[in-house]
Chain A
Amino acid sequence: MSPDTLPALSALSALPTAFLFLPGALLAAVLPARLRPPLLVGLPALAAWQVWTLPEGRLMPLALMGLELELMRVDRLSRIFALIFTLIAVLGNLYAWHLRDRVQQVAALVYAGAAIGAVFAGDLITLFLWWEGTAIASVFLIWARRTEGAFHTGMRYLVVQVLSGVLLLAGAALYWRETGSLDFTLMRLGSPATWLIFLAFGIKAAFPLLHNWLQDAYPAATVTGTVILSAFTTKLAIYALARGFAGTEILIWIGAVMTVFPVFFAEVENDMRRVLAYSLNNQLGFMVVGIGIGSEMALNGTAAHAFAHILYKALLFMSVGAVLYRTGTARATELGGLYRTMPLTAILAVIGAVSISGVPLFSGFVTKSMVLSAASDAHLWPVWGALVFASAAVLSHSGIKIPYFIFFAHDSGRRPAEAPRHMLLAMGLTAAMCIAIGLAPGLLYALLPYPVEYHPYSGYHVVGQMQLLLFGVVAFALAMRFGLHPGEKRGTLLDSDWLYRRAAPAVLGAAAALVRAIWGAGAAAVGALRAAAMGFIRARSGPEGRLAHVWPTGSMVEWLAIILGVMLVVVYLA
């Protein structure tokens, strides 16, 4: 595309992609409701085109306050993440075509823009700015539910996300002092600076024990908000880890734990959107393992898996969202047998489910197996074992539980209408991409950061995967048959959020009571001493109780005298 032919569009490519979204958000804030959905879909599409056509390199260096910033670092790693971010923004906003809520629409645009800005950030300060931008914009997708529960959840979410940003800023400042550079590039764990940055990334990537904001927040967001939420924040963290900490060994073990522990929670959770949130956590584990291994294949696997994952996870959230939109609930206990009246949604959900489970011909298979192969190439057998286990386990909650308990199983008696057309269209497009990646993995492989020489469709691969999955289903069917399945049950599952939602307030309450008691006793003692000391003066000259209360003039002059005394002592002693 030469600059002469399309001056307007080439001017566009001189603008950081994120900055497309911000005026767009401003525009969305003033446009009438009718015009907003086209803007919300069109703008990310335009951005996708821009990302696709951008040349590689460091495009927008900026010097600010003596710092070298880099707004647009385009390389293969950042391009693939930016591309999927723009695509999912198109699909997610198409899914939300019916929405008339200005707050959500503006937040969705700002959020997508910030996430893309962060992906293209070439230095830690720019990264930090967009990092916090995603936190602040995304919380409105939760608050937009406009219930008290959502408000509190959003607050907790915001605190965690902003904390991550603060840690990142602190880390960046220390890193600058250490190395004299703010360049966001491969780092080695070892100094406080890198540990802080690592922790900041870890919070957003939902590392074990830092994960609970995710399961807390995603089910609390709006129907459409969850779809958007599921795509950006955690994958931004995956990108940041892949950029900054590729090959860091501890990530392998963190990732292995991440793939395993959420599956148990997902199995018994009743809220289907929370099931998906746990499953999201489990899928992130695969990516984190890939980053930890750090070989070219592993990093390719991570990027590919993130790409595919965003699509099928969004598809699953969309289908559960459509059910919620039509029935008013996403609880497994209240759903079942919906295929009768929502057959299209059911089929699309199944496509999402088989994609995440890694059934051959669908997207999960061609990407997840890259990470597994990378693990076995590196002879990391315990990790490989964990990944195989997790691959099978993901089947049970996302592959079977979601479609089975919502659309099949016992008939709940509900006969909801089919999902609205724009939702079906969005889901259909997403499903089509899942299948396209599964059928023609070369399309995706061509976008990966490193050259790919990997062929997922070898006989033993397909057979092994089919064995794993089919016998998993067999186990599930047997468990259902003999009543061994945990089944559906209403309730709340304790997770690490118990620590700050229940334990911490209790402990703090007790501590506060203790401090109050001690303070009270101390204050009484000091007060008594003071009263005794002042008694002499007061008895002679002061009107009743003149010095006892806190009238500013008196106490102020007292303070003057005290500070002067301290000063004189310090000055004389020194």
Chain B
Amino acid sequence: MSGQVAGDALAGHAAGVVETATAAERALGLADHLPVLVVLVPFLAAPLVVLLGARRLAWPITFAAAFFSLAAALSLLSGVLGGDAISYHIGGWAPPLGIEYRIDAANAFVMVIVSAIAVAILPYARTSIAAEIPARQHVLFHALFLLALAGLLGVAATGDAFNLFVFLEISSLATYVLVAMGAYRDKRALTTAFNYLLMGTTGATFFVIGIGFLYMSTGTLNMADLAQLIAQQPGNRTIHAGFAFIIVGMGLKVAMYPLHLWLPGAYTYAPSAVSAFLAATATKVAVYVLLRFLFTVFGPQYTFEAAELTWVILPLALLAMFAASFIAIFQVNFKKMLAYSSIAQIGYMLLGIAMLSQTALTGAIVHLFNHAITKATLFMVIGAYVLRAGGAFYRDIEGIGRVMPWTSAAGVIGGLSLIGVPGTAGFVSKWLLVQGALEKGWWWMALLVVASSLLAVVYVWKGIETAYLRAPREDVDRREAPLTMLVPIWIMALSTIWFGLSAEWTVGAAGTAAEALMSGASQLLISGGAGH
């Protein structure tokens, strides 16, 4: 039976094959290969770094690769902001049999976030890891960083469900090792990484099972194709089951409450630069995948009106917003506090997804971006504290605002953005979420969003109180963080303000992305045919 469906899908695509074949012949310029190069460059740079084996070369290569990815992602984004999609066929093999990279506003946006964060964090990481990881491991660190980056970019770029799984595992495996590298400071990094591995693999395997169910019913792995074929068979139980598996598997990667248990440990014990990178990118990419499956593959009609899944994701999102915030309030370790706050913030994104409206979805995507830069700022600030004060416990950073005024000021900006104070990036996305809730007439939801922001006030205030209102400890290193850390920190901090004040770009890009996602399967196919 499954073979039959696959045959149909092939026949349906016959016209497309011819068209793309000619397209592949003429598309030989570098620019036409950007969709794959954006992933391939960091991916190939990783073995290069290892093969050269030179510590001096590792950083420049890594930075150059990341920078290339950023440039490529920006160029791709500018190409698709109008609402078109770019379709790239790996090796000239046409979809659905060949692997397709499909770039639209949503994933180009995600790729820009990921590569931009990588570029910003790398100069910082150079100083940070020098203090936290032994020199002989630096080459490996950079190789793994590149692999994680390439994996995340690949997840975003690909239009093939199984290929997505492969990239997900590439980035996850690299991430496990990066987290384990924290063991030079705290041996709990090892068990954390091990747990993360067990859970992450289980989640990813759930995801593959889901993909398998979809393949069983449709005979295709291409997402655009899947979308079309799924829409044709409502009420197919295999697809239903596949849907549940994919959501749960991705929910784990997203750290959807209560599948978040891997996250606090991983963020707390990983090296500072890794925490900053992970917090800003890994869960965000997972949110993107969730978005892609919920909206593009299954389509809003299928997902929400047929299955009422709003009522599963929405309560979990609210639970995350409150439970995780409360836990964050009671932490004594700054890094762990931020980790729990991340879980709460992911709750906001899930909320925006579950509300299922253009505005709320735009809010979720903008929050994905804004939270990425906010958390990157904060984790980088913590990294600087760790470097100078030797730990991330509140006790370690008492009065550090006076010793490290610049770092701490950036931390305050990040904290304000976390709360959602107007003028910072965090405000823009919360404002959109509140608007989204009000559009639906859910004023109670708007109040809940505001109420949970008040919880953020409490834990951010605790940090500020510790850093500013207490006497500095005598035994800490009384110096400001080095410039190599300060500059990236401030770039991030200023960008939270910049994107808080001039939100046109983020809101515009996210709006286009939300539109691309919400427009569902049918329209995507039409634009895909012409978008090459």
Chain A's closest residue to B258 (CB) is A559
Residues from chain B with a CB closer than 8 A to the CB of A570 are 307-309, 311-312
Of residues A129, A559, A567, which shows the largest number of chain B Cβ atoms within 10 Å of its Cβ?
A: A567
Does B252 sit within 8 A of A, measured CB to CB? yes
Does A516 sit within 8 A of B, measured CB to CB? no
Chain B's closest residue to A557 (CB) is B202
Cα distance A125–B427 in the bound complex, in angstroms: 12
Chain B's closest residue to A567 (CB) is B244
Q: Chain B 232-271, CB within 8 Å of chain A: the 1/0 string?
A: 0000010011011101100110000011011001000000
Give min CB distance, B443 to chain A, whole Å.
7
Give min CB distance, A165 to chain B, whole Å.
10
Stretch at the interface among A169-177, A334-342, A491-499: A169-177
- A contact face: mostly helix, strand, loop, or mixed: helix
Interface residues in A525-574 by Cβ distance below 8 A to B read 552-553, 555-557, 559-560, 563-564, 566-568, 570-572, 574
Q: Are B199 and A571 in contact (CB under 8 A)?
A: no
Cα distance A571–B422 in the bound complex, in angstroms: 40
Q: Are B199 and A173 in contact (CB under 8 A)?
A: no
Chain A's closest residue to B450 (CB) is A166
Cα distance A567–B450 in the bound complex, in angstroms: 29
Residues from chain B with a CB closer than 8 A to the CB of A174 are 438, 443
Q: Are B447 and A559 in contact (CB under 8 A)?
A: no
Residues from chain B with a CB closer than 8 A to the CB of A555 are 261
Q: Are B446 and A173 in contact (CB under 8 A)?
A: yes
Chain B's closest residue to A136 (CB) is B421
Does B206 sit within 8 A of A, measured CB to CB? yes
Residues from chain B with a CB closer than 8 A to the CB of A563 are 248, 251, 258-259
Does B198 sit within 8 A of A, measured CB to CB? yes
Contact with B206, one of A64, A170, A560, A574 (Cβ below 8 angstroms): A560
Residues from chain A with a CB closer than 8 A to the CB of B265 are 552
Interface residues in A99-158 by Cβ distance below 8 A to B read 125, 128-129, 132
Q: Are B312 and A566 in contact (CB under 8 A)?
A: yes
Cα distance A177–B240 in the bound complex, in angstroms: 37
Does A23 sit within 8 A of B, measured CB to CB? no
Q: Are B206 and A564 in contact (CB under 8 A)?
A: yes
Give min CB distance, A157 to chain B, whole Å.
15
Q: Are B244 and A574 in contact (CB under 8 A)?
A: no
Q: Are B199 and A553 in contact (CB under 8 A)?
A: yes
Cα distance A128–B450 in the bound complex, in angstroms: 15
Residues from chain A with a CB closer than 8 A to the CB of B245 are 564
Does A508 sit within 8 A of B, measured CB to CB? no
Cα distance A567–B454 in the bound complex, in angstroms: 31
Given contacts A65-B503, A556-B262, contact A129 B199 (CB under 8 A): no
Give min CB distance, A151 to chain B, whole Å.
9
Q: Are A553 and B240 in contact (CB under 8 A)?
A: no
Q: Are B450 and A553 in contact (CB under 8 A)?
A: no
Residues from chain B with a CB closer than 8 A to the CB of A564 are 206, 244-245, 248
Q: Are A571 and B195 in contact (CB under 8 A)?
A: no
Contact with B443, one of A192, A560, A568, A572 (Cβ below 8 angstroms): A192
Q: Chain B 408-441, CB within 8 Å of chain A: the 1/0 string?
A: 0000000000000011000010010011001100
Residues from chain B with a CB closer than 8 A to the CB of A567 are 243-244, 247-248, 309, 312
Cα distance A552–B263 in the bound complex, in angstroms: 10
Residues from chain A with a CB closer than 8 A to the CB of B431 are 65, 173
Interface residues in B300-317 by Cβ distance below 8 A to A read 306-309, 311-312
Residues from chain B with a CB closer than 8 A to the CB of A173 are 431, 434-435, 438, 446
Q: Are A572 and B237 in contact (CB under 8 A)?
A: yes
Q: Are B195 and A552 in contact (CB under 8 A)?
A: yes
Chain A's closest residue to B422 (CB) is A129
Does B186 sit within 8 A of A, measured CB to CB? no
Q: Are A170 and B450 in contact (CB under 8 A)?
A: yes
Residues from chain B with a CB closer than 8 A to the CB of A557 are 198-199, 202
Does B8 sit within 8 A of A, measured CB to CB? no
Q: Are A65 and B262 in contact (CB under 8 A)?
A: no
Given contacts A170-B447, A570-B309, A574-B307, contact A560 B237 (CB under 8 A): no
Chain B's closest residue to A177 (CB) is B438
Q: Are A553 and B312 in contact (CB under 8 A)?
A: no
Of residues A162, A166, A177, A560, which shows the largest number of chain B Cβ atoms within 10 Å of its Cβ?
A: A560
Q: Are A574 and B262 in contact (CB under 8 A)?
A: no
Given contacts A65-B428, A556-B199, contact A568 B446 (CB under 8 A): no
Cα distance A125–B428 in the bound complex, in angstroms: 13
Does B151 sit within 8 A of A, measured CB to CB? no
Give min CB distance, A127 to chain B, whole Å.
12
Q: Chain A 455-483, CB within 8 Å of chain B: the 1/0 string?
A: 00000000000000000000000000000
Ranked 4 nearest A-B pairs via Cβ: A567-B244, A552-B261, A571-B240, A574-B307
Would you give 11 A-B contacts (Cβ < 8 Å), ordered by A? A65-B428, A174-B438, A177-B439, A559-B258, A560-B259, A564-B244, A564-B245, A567-B248, A570-B309, A571-B244, A572-B240
**B residues engaging A (CB < 8 A)?**
195, 198-199, 202-203, 206, 237, 240-241, 243-245, 247-248, 251-252, 258-259, 261-262, 265, 306-309, 311-312, 422-423, 428, 431, 434-435, 438-439, 443, 446-447, 450, 454, 457, 501-504, 507
**Beyond the given A556-B261, A571-B240, A574-B306, could you list 18 further A-B residue pairs with CB under 8 A, ordered by the A residue number?**
A64-B501, A65-B507, A125-B422, A132-B422, A169-B450, A173-B431, A174-B438, A552-B262, A555-B261, A557-B198, A557-B202, A560-B202, A560-B248, A560-B252, A564-B244, A570-B307, A570-B311, A572-B237
